[in-house]
Amino acid sequence: MIHRERKKVLLVSAHPEPTSLTRQLAEQSAETLAASGCEVLHSDLYGMGWKAVFDGNDFPERLNPERLSLIDESGHAFARKSQTDDVEEEQRKLGEADALILHFPLWWFGMPAILKGWIERVWAFGLAYGFRGAGNAHRYGEGGFAGKRALLAVSVGGPAVDYSPRGINGPLDQLLFPVTHGTLFYPGMQVLPTYAVYGAARLDDAGVAAARAGWAERVRRLFEDEPIPFRSQNGGDYPDRHVLAPTVAPGQEGLGAHVALPSRVFACDGLG
């Protein structure tokens, strides 16, 4: 008899209002995942009173009490298991999870500070960067979070047209590249195309219902959908680990060159 392991999914949500679309989509995640037989872990950052600021208090046993190097102290605390309890707990949850879903409103074209601070504190040196003391040898496609999937569910105040390929804000996939590529793919996660709900501030009940239904569909396919084909550092496209080989996306510059498909395929899914 084959034992099929139950998948675990960590939801991290970052909105202070329990009835916000962000929080409703997180509830939808929990419902849909439970119905699919997954185990759900949830870090509601506002509800937990998460400490957003990365500082010396994160290192109760300092390597160097004179001068604070965040990289050195992070590496030391992670290796010595002397991190703070809240960080240890988030790393434990993430370590168990097969997938991570980040639920947040787009504020000034990025994550809310409380979620950025969750990343800064939980993404320890030796784990999420500087993996196994090997500098940059393992990053972008491998590393401490390899084998996990990641997906963003983003509530966006403005209309979809402002985020279209020639829209005034810039395309959402490029604005979120520091998160999808630089934060999630960097330590090895496979990142799915972002789910965005536009005009989120002014949705009526029918709009919320449609957003939830569209999202539920994406959650059901969490372990089946194709990830964004970001190029892995060690797959051959970056022979020196720093720059694309001249034969890869020849002549192309900028963020889109790091996706192994025409840029339109990388466009965000969603409603608006």
Interface pick for its own copies out of 97, 191, 233, 270 (rule CB under 8 A): 233
Residue 69 binds to its own copies (criterion: CB under 8 A): yes
Residue 167 binds to its own copies (criterion: CB under 8 A): yes
Closest distance between its own copies and the C-beta of residue 263, in Å?
7
Closest distance between its own copies and the C-beta of residue 161, in Å?
5
Q: Which H or E run contains 23?
A: helix 21-35
Contact at 8 Å (CB) between 201 and 111? no
Residue 236 binds to its own copies (criterion: CB under 8 A): no
Closest distance between its own copies and the C-beta of residue 230, in Å?
10
Interface pick for its own copies out of 42, 46, 100, 138 (rule CB under 8 A): 46
Closest distance between its own copies and the C-beta of residue 3, in Å?
37
Residue 252 binds to its own copies (criterion: CB under 8 A): yes
Residue 60 binds to its own copies (criterion: CB under 8 A): no
The piece of 5-13, 86-94, 216-224, 238-246 that touches its own copies (CB under 8 A) is 238-246
Q: Residue 153 forms beta bridges with which residues? A: 103, 195
| Separation between Cα atoms, residue 248 and residue 242, nearest integer Å | 13
Residue 48 binds to its own copies (criterion: CB under 8 A): no
Q: Which H or E run contains 13?
A: strand 8-13
Residue 257 binds to its own copies (criterion: CB under 8 A): yes
The piece of 3-11, 154-162, 191-199, 219-227 that touches its own copies (CB under 8 A) is 154-162
Residue 165 binds to its own copies (criterion: CB under 8 A): yes
* Window 92-131: residues binding its own copies (CB under 8 A): 107-114, 116-117, 119-120, 123
70-106: burial string, b at 16+ Cβ within 10 Å, e else? eeebbbbbbeeeebeebbbebbebbeebbbbbbbbbb
Burial group, residue 269, by CB count within 10 angstroms (0-12, 13-18, 19+): middle
Burial group, residue 210, by CB count within 10 angstroms (0-12, 13-18, 19+): middle
Residue type, 49: G
Q: Would you say 52 or 216 has its CB closer to its own copies?
A: 52
| Separation between Cα atoms, residue 29 and residue 240, nearest integer Å | 40
Closest distance between its own copies and the C-beta of residue 90, in Å?
15
Long-range contacts of 42-45 (CB under 8 A, 24+ apart): 42/10, 42/11, 42/12, 42/13, 43/10, 43/11, 43/12, 43/13, 43/90, 43/93, 43/118, 44/13, 45/12, 45/13, 45/14, 45/114, 45/115, 45/118
Interface pick for its own copies out of 144, 171, 188, 270 (rule CB under 8 A): 171
Which residues of this chain interact with its own copies, rule CB under 8 A? 16-17, 19-20, 46, 52-56, 67-71, 107-114, 116-117, 119-120, 123, 136, 140, 157-159, 161-162, 164-171, 174-175, 177-178, 181-183, 201, 233, 238, 241-244, 252-258, 263
